[in-house]
Structure 1
C-alpha cells in the first residue's frame, strides 16, 4: 500500500496543544507506578500526530492527560491559551464539550438514537446547532447520507466508527483525540476512516492526535512520537509503514 502524503502550504506555526513536563503516577510507596516521567511536546494546527510505544509505555495515559480525561500529577497541559490543569471539573467538562473532539476504539454511540441524532448529540448538549453546510460536508465525505436514520444496531462496525468520527468533527474541535480508532475495524474500513482524518487535516487544518499500535495507521500521520517507560524517546517525521515498523522493532528488541 502506498504511504499517504499530505500537501502543506507555508503557514505560520500555531501551537494548539502543549504538554509541559507532564508526570503521572499511580499508587503510593513501593507500589507507585510512574506512567509519565516529564513528557513535553507541542502540537501544531493542521498537524496529524501519531503516538506509539510498547504496551505499558504510557501512550494512552499521555493522550488522556492531553485531552483532560485524566489528571496529571505535575506539569501543565495547554489547549489554545487555557491551562487544563488549572480548571475546575465543571470548566474542564465544558472545555472538552466545546473545544475538543474524541474518537475511541469503542464507538460510544447511544443505541436508542439514530446516526444523525448521535452525530448531533454534542451540539444538542451544548445548546448549539452546527451549520448545515459543515454537517453535509462531513456526512457526505464519510458516506453516511443513506444511514442517517439507522440506529447503531443497524450499522456495521465501520459505519458506527464513521458516525463517531462525524460526531467528533461536527463542532470543529481545536484538537481531535483518537485512541486506537481503527482497533475494532477491518483493514479496508480502517483505511477509509484514516483517509478521512487525513483529509480533515489537509483540507480543514484539523489537528489530530492519535494513539495507535498499527504502523499502517501511523503512516497517515505527519509525525510519530514514540514513548517508552513514560518518556518520549524518539520522533519520526514523514513516517512510512516500513520506517515505523523498523523503529518499533528497535524499541521492542
Structure 2
C-alpha cells in the first residue's frame, strides 16, 4: 500500500469552453519512506496536483488515498482531522505565527489536536535542524533559513504519515536551501518519513529518490534518482 495514492485524478477549473484541466487523469502511488519531487514548467499543474493530494483542494473526479483512507469526499471536519493528524506541510512562505516563539510554533499543531509533542522527538528534530538555541526567539528574530527549519520541525513534530512541501526553498539563499533539502532527505532515510515536494529547481529535485515531471496536467516522466 502506498503512503499516498492518486487514481485517475482530475481537477478542472471553469466550465464549458473556458474550462481548463489543471490535472488531467493522473494516477500515481507514493511509497512510504521515499522522497519524491514533482517538477514541471509553470502551468504544468504540479502545485494543483500536490494540493489535491494533500486535501487542500477539492478534486473534480478520481480519488486520493492517504494511508488506506480515501480523503476525496470526506466532510470538512473529517478532512481537517486528516490534515491535522496525519499530514505535515512545508510551504515557500514559512507560515509561522509572529507572536509565538519558535518553540510555540513547533508545538502548536499538537496542542490544537489536544496532544503533546514527544520530548525526545522534539529534542532530536530541533537538534538535527540546528535550532536548539533559537527556540525562544520569535520569527522576526530568525533568518529565513532558520524560519524554514522551524517550519520543518513543526511539520515533523506530529510524526505525520507524509510531508507535503511546496517550493520549500523558494525564499532561501542557496546555502540555506541546501541545508533544508539535506534535512528533508535525512528525515526520509533516518526517520522513515515520506516526503512529496513540488519544485521548479533541478538541483532541489536531485535530493529526491524519485522525480515525477508534469506537463499539461499529465505525468510525462517518472524516474528514479
Calculate the TM-score normalised by the size of structure 2.
0.99
Q: Show structure 1 runs of 5+ residues with no match.
A: 1-13, 239-253
* CA distance in structure 2 between the aligned counterparts of 1:188 and 1:85, rounded to whole angstroms: 38
Count of residue pairs the alignment pairs up: 225
1:16 aligns with 2:3: yes
* CA distance in structure 2 between the aligned counterparts of 1:73 and 1:41, rounded to whole angstroms: 17
Which of 18, 24, 36 pairs up with 1:31? Answer: 18
User: 1:86 corresponds to which residue?
Assistant: 73
Which of 48, 52, 55 pairs up with 1:65? Answer: 52
Calculate the TM-score normalised by the size of structure 1.
0.88
CA RMSD of aligned residues (A): 0.6
Which of 208, 214, 221 pairs up with 2:201? Answer: 214
Which of 36, 52, 61 pairs up with 1:49? Answer: 36
> Displacement of 1:81 after TM fit?
1.2
What SS does the aligned partner of 2:57 have?
coil
> Displacement of 1:22 after TM fit?
0.2
Runs of 4+ in 1 over 2 A off after TM superposition: none
1:122 aligns with 2:109: yes
Which of 123, 127, 134 pairs up with 1:136? Answer: 123
User: 1:183 corresponds to which residue?
Assistant: 170
Q: Show structure 2 runs of 5+ residues with no match.
A: none
What SS does the aligned partner of 1:146 have?
coil
* CA distance in structure 2 between the aligned counterparts of 1:86 and 1:68, rounded to whole angstroms: 10
* CA distance in structure 1 between the aligned counterparts of 2:2 and 2:149, rounded to whole angstroms: 27
1:40 aligns with 2:27: yes
What SS does the aligned partner of 2:133 have?
helix
> Displacement of 1:85 after TM fit?
0.6
> Displacement of 1:29 after TM fit?
1.2
